[in-house]
Structure 1
C-alpha cells in the first residue's frame, strides 16, 4: 500500500515530461507552416453579415470556389473557406457570414487570371449570396 502514492507521483511526472516535450515540436511545426506561406499574396473575400442577407455555404464550397480556383491555375498555392460563427465581442452581431481566401504566388498573375473571368465570377454570386463581398489583398509576412 505504501507504493500507491509513489506510483501515482511517478505516473504524473512521466505524463508531465511527455507533454512538455511535445510543446516545442508543436511550435516548430507552426513556424514551419507560417514560413512556407511567407511572401504569398492573400486574397480574402469577406461576405458581411446583415439582417436579411443569405449565404449558401454548400454551393460556395462545391461550385463557386472550385470555379475561381480553376481560373487561377498554377499560381494558386491553396485556398480556404471559413464559415462565420460569432463575433469576437460577446453579444455583438456576426461581422462576416463567410470568408474565402486564396493564397497565390504572384499578384499580377492573379489579376491577369481574374480579369477575363470577372463577369462569370460576379454572375455566380447570385447562386449563393445576396450580399456584396469586401475584398482585401495582402502579403503574408508570417
Structure 2
C-alpha cells in the first residue's frame, strides 16, 4: 500500500512538471492572422500516413508560402469530443498566414503539385476552412 502511494505521488509530480513546462511553451497566435485549416475526415477504409505528411507534405507547402507563413501545426485525431462516437477527423493541418491574397498567389501555381502529393499519404479528400483569428 505504501509503495502504491509513493508511486502515485511520483506520477502526479511528473505529470504536474510536464504540464507546467508545456504551459510555459504556449505560443500566442496574433489576432488578425488568417488560419487555413486542412481537415481530413475520418471514414471507414480511409488511410493517412502521418509520417509522410509531417516530414514531406507540410514542409513542401510551407516552402511555397515563404515569408507569408507565420507558423503551421499538424494534429492527429485521436477521439471524438462525444464518447462512443466516431472520430470526426483523422488529421488537421493548419497554416497561420499574414495575407490571404499572398497565400492564394503562392498556392495557385503549385496547386497541381500539392494535389498530386495527396496520393503519397492519403486517400481522403480534405475539407478546407479559411478563417480569421479573433483571439
Please give the TM-score of this superposition, normalised by the length of structure 1: 0.76
Number of the residue aligned with 1:45: 38
Number of the residue aligned with 1:68: 61
Number of the residue aligned with 1:21: none
How many matched pairs?
A: 114
SS of aligned partner of 2:55? helix
Coordinate RMSD, CA, aligned: 1.8
Number of the residue aligned with 1:113: 106
Number of the residue aligned with 2:79: 86
Q: Which runs of 5+ in 1 are unaligned?
A: 1-25
Q: Which runs of 5+ in 2 are unaligned?
A: 1-22
Number of the residue aligned with 2:93: 100
| Equivalent-residue separation in structure 1 for 2:52 and 2:30 (angstroms) | 27
| Equivalent-residue separation in structure 2 for 1:37 and 1:113 (angstroms) | 22
**Cα displacement string for residues 67-100 of structure 1 (whole angstroms, at most 9, x for unaligned residues):** 0000000000000000000000000000000000
| Equivalent-residue separation in structure 2 for 1:90 and 1:78 (angstroms) | 32
**What is the aligned counterpart of 1:59 among 52, 68, 73?**
52
| Equivalent-residue separation in structure 1 for 2:115 and 2:31 (angstroms) | 29
Number of the residue aligned with 2:3: none
| Equivalent-residue separation in structure 2 for 1:100 and 1:37 (angstroms) | 18
For 1:7-46, list aligned pairs within 5 A: 33-34=27-28, 36-46=29-39
Please give the TM-score of this superposition, normalised by the length of structure 2: 0.80
Q: Where has structure 1 moved over 4 Å in runs of 4 or more?
A: none
| Equivalent-residue separation in structure 1 for 2:50 and 2:56 (angstroms) | 10
